[in-house]
A and B are shown apart, each in its own frame.
Chain A
């Protein structure tokens, strides 16, 4: 997959190449970030098949908007935000953000995990599978808050819900996840 001719490109050179629509730079950027970004997409969309579509759209967005990256903050962080937004758009398009019933069925506070709980024994793939299996509403808020570091205000604005609803879904999402982990 890699021809070796561009493996010494710096991040700045790579970004500059993508800005100029250089095909080699675009390919190199994809090779470097596709695995990480696919994991992000799976976390949000809940399935690998859906995540592939989002990954493709996300990279096209990155190549299209890379000129807006001003070098402030990490480039990988900027890309994660692009893919997170792309995933949320996908979820909204597919009307997956329906979680009223899910909120009803899951308590806001659970038993929690003991210090010797099995969380530490889970590998990344198993954990990703669990998060992917979360209901869409829980999953979106959980990903944005826990893994992307968004505030409840930002999540509320992004998802078009109230801050209270965001907090509630996060709590229920944690309980939902802890219960699944305990059952492993």
Chain B
């Protein structure tokens, strides 16, 4: 059971997210709607990464790969004049599943530091691939238009896009919740604490972990699909290893191994970046030490610090 404070927090948070578009339109502050949309997209990415970090014990340092794959799916199809949203979505999902399958298949044979480094290296490889895709803008990136779904649902309208992103955020949280509490999720969590024992009991943990790896990749690919739609622009930069680090930080800030933590982590991180980079261009010199302090003293993250059982709300 979740504590009352947490339930209250979630409820308020959800209502605020729902109310943002009318509120910002009324106050003529569209900028904040864009910012909130961006936060939710990174929240989706962070939620998916937490499936690996917090539950699967797979420290992937290359989660940006799927952000890039999902967004390039949109841009490349649009480049050939295919703007149908359903098709773009299907390709984004399929492509990120495939990339995750290949990367996972190679990486999951390794453990510990090897796993961290090989996920990092393979993502960096995709980044260089993106730079050399001359046809699709290479390093310059590529402009794209918003996906087209229905006549009555025009994604060109920012509010519609916003609610689509909110829908996917809720959906990805729901999927994660179902996954974690399923038998499948139990095996994954079991293998996090003792992989050998799980294997000894007779679970082929490699297959389980690979499945989880692919699911996480697909959810992050959906975040990429949404990011391409929000920015109407795709660049290899989405796959840079600093980006992977940022998503990791969001998970940590929010609280690893919690369902809702990463959402709050993404919001906190982007809000912080927004506020502090206004204040000084040397914001990294403040942010670096804060990150160190967070790791040292606030392992449970923002969400974990609220009252309630530590891992019970997942």
A, B from the same assembly = no
